Structure 1
């Protein structure tokens, strides 16, 4: 029976913010049992014996969608072939696995994306995120958290912070974030229009 009355919960908060479940003491076999069709709409990751299940809230999805549309707009403007991965599970068997918010290969189709974008809205450990994608071998990682976006580039098996994307070279983190954060209150159509004037 579903109880709907008089609960001390802010229902609006639960629709806007991410819901996160962490399972400790897990192994790789446990992680593999999480089928993407059975858990559609969830992001499931594995690192160091922990499975994390994220149900993205509305704000998370809005930020992700704005970033996605701006990347597509950039590729269209400069005629860069893009090959989306969506939330395809990326992993190093037995070690780490992630289902990114956004992922693309550029210029030609590849086994791994060139760029992964992750939105951390309610909570999340950036160092675990970086360690995971470093093991997988993702060349460039963008992380949005607390209304800021940081670009990381994989160099000598470690991520360094960069101000401008190495892959989409006209995008700078400092200016890009101004357009991304407008997604909380504005239509992506208007944001994309303005973004295309500065790249």
Structure 2
């Protein structure tokens, strides 16, 4: 703390943005050494010999919280049983590992989630992200980035962009993102009320 006290950085700016550390030339066993208990609040991923450690900023967490609130509200309205994974580490042994922002199984509990949601506030390789989850076997992936959200679903062993969710069928990306982006300035509770009227 004393070291950074006089540095010419904008602390408010950095608290709002994601902080990222990338380690190249890493092995699967290196990745396995990153225990969530030792790195609370961080998301650690592995793909193609690269470990990425992300410390989410406040804006990242705001958007993730709104998405979570709306998904749960949808499930409650339509009596859809949901089983959240949170940031449980999802692995394809030796090849890919990720700790998602949000993940859910629906109808009944499963070994892998039906839906994973990722919020990106920093530069990142979308193809790597998609390849990781495709290889792990996630059937549906939502990615929020730059005030847009794209829904992907597995078609012929690869992700294809879809307008409506395959699992939460009444949610369309174009209308959903308008509610999500209100999370920068509004309470999730008020956003949820308007969302429920729309669906």
Q: Tell me the TM-score normalized by structure 1.
A: 0.98
Shift of 1:4: 3.5
Match of 2:59 in 1: 59
| 1:1-199 aligned within 5 A | 2-199=2-199
Shift of 1:6: 3.0
What SS does the corresponding residue of 2:73 show, helix, strand or coil? helix
Deviations 1:77-111 (A, max 9, x none): 00000000000000101000000000000000000
Q: Which runs of 5+ in 1 are unaligned?
A: none
Separation in structure 2 between the aligned mates of residue 37 and residue 164 of structure 1, nearest angstrom: 36
Q: Which runs of 5+ in 2 are unaligned?
A: none
What SS does the corresponding residue of 1:105 show, helix, strand or coil? strand
Separation in structure 1 between the aligned mates of residue 40 and residue 122 of structure 2, nearest angstrom: 20
Separation in structure 1 between the aligned mates of residue 120 and residue 150 of structure 2, nearest angstrom: 12
Shift of 1:2: 2.7
Q: Tell me the TM-score normalized by structure 2.
A: 0.98
Greater Cα offset, 180-189 or 118-127: 118-127
Q: How many residues align?
A: 199
Deviations 1:104-141 (A, max 9, x none): 00000000000000000122111100000000010000
Shift of 1:174: 0.2
Separation in structure 2 between the aligned mates of residue 131 and residue 145 of structure 1, nearest angstrom: 17
Deviations 1:8-32 (A, max 9, x none): 2111111000000000010000000
